[in-house]
Amino acid sequence: MIRRPPRSTPSNSSAASDVYKRQFELRAESGIFSKARRVEEKTLSFKKNGCIFIEGREGKISIQSWNREEVRIVMTKIAWGRTRRRAEDNLEEIKVDIEKIGNRLYIRDVTEDIFYEDFNFFDIFRPDSWKYRRKKVDFELIVPENVELDIRNNEGKVDISEINGKISLEVDEGNVELFNISSSDLYVIADEGDVFIIDFNKDIDTLRGRINIHTDEGKIRLKNCKARNLNLDSDEGDLIIYNATVKKMSVFTDEGDIETDVNVVENGNYRIRTDEGDVVVVLSKDPDIRIDAETFEGKIRSDFRLHIREENDGEKARGIIGRGSAVLVVRTSEGHITLEEKF
């Protein structure tokens, strides 16, 4: 299980701030606020195998690759205000630091927002007192294909495609989408948001690399992935794995269903658990695997010849298929387990 770093203590106005932001977004969409927007672009020389650090506050982060030894940064700065003049003033307050040291590139949104410091709950009922200092920056980057990424984003979607290198990614609120990634190490934490990964290490011949993903509230979906180690962990969310080839797998969710379609490899180790939810495991025809499945409140259905017996309010299933070189352990406290054969 991925351990999150300790969080700072939220301020007394954090709940009110969330209410404000929701009301602000509705009013902004309705056209009540004025909006100012500016696009800035910068291109830097940057050799492959370098490292790029991005720290965002609010806004999307999108990264794709090309075959040049350059990084192109497109920043779309957006600000709102009660009037057009106020929106333009707020736009000028958006600050982004870009610093290149050797083959490391640092991109940081360092904008200050005084709203969170002086807003309190009772201001919800006094709209005239609101400061309307909402600002955000959307980042679009084109980078060399072989690069290491270290990304932190407070609020906003992150999507990355066609990258060959290690990726470390933390998002507080926002979805994560990764496409066609080749990496020896993928580390993702999403506090509130879904994680979707398709085509990870799909062209490698030997299993390598690690995938570590944690969400507090959000689904995790993987498709066409290869790795030596796979660890998925969610407090509240479904976990879906389709066509994955891994040597060692640990999948856990407190509240949510789990669906896995994993290609079993020799001496593999696969562990699946949910406290509240159903589990569906799809295995190839005649796999060499030892199966140990148990539900404390629920039923077990299997396409394979297993010994299934009732125990209290649940059931247990044991059996060896083929030589039994790999091991599969499945547990659910409240839910059903289904073991399917793939044709």
DSSP 220-242: EEEEEEEEEEEEEEEEE--EEEE
Tens digit of each residue's pLDDT (9 = 90 or more) over 141-167 = 999 999 999 999 999 999 999 999 999
Instruction: Assess contact for 222 and 241: CB atoms under 8 A.
Output: yes
The pLDDT value recorded for residue 112 is 79
Place of tokens 């299980």: 1
| C-alpha to C-alpha distance for 281 and 113, rounded to whole angstroms | 48
From residue 222, give the alpha-carbon distance in Å to each of 139, 158, 242, 315. 25, 16, 6, 29
Place of tokens 């066409």: 224
- How many CB atoms lie under 10 A from the CB of residue 329? 15
Render each residue's pLDDT in the chain as its tens digit; 343 residues: 333 333 333 343 444 445 444 444 444 444 567 889 999 999 999 999 999 999 999 999 999 999 999 999 999 999 988 788 988 988 999 999 999 999 999 999 998 765 443 445 554 454 444 444 478 999 999 999 999 999 999 999 999 999 999 999 999 999 999 999 999 899 999 999 999 999 999 888 888 889 999 999 999 999 999 999 999 999 999 999 999 999 999 999 999 999 999 999 999 999 999 999 999 999 988 889 999 999 999 999 999 989 999 988 899 999 999 999 999 999 999 999 999 998 7
Tens digit of each residue's pLDDT (9 = 90 or more) over 209-243 = 899 999 999 999 999 999 999 999 999 999 999 99
| C-alpha to C-alpha distance for 21 and 318, rounded to whole angstroms | 52
Measure the N-to-C terminal CA separation of the chain; round to a whole number of Å.
Answer: 33
Task: Give the global pTM.
Answer: 0.83
| C-alpha to C-alpha distance for 39 and 237, rounded to whole angstroms | 36
Task: Give the DSSP letter of residue 127.
Answer: G
**If we measure between CA atoms, which residue out of 251, 237, 274 comes closest to residue 261?**
251
Beta bridge partners of 297: 334
The pLDDT value recorded for residue 268 is 94
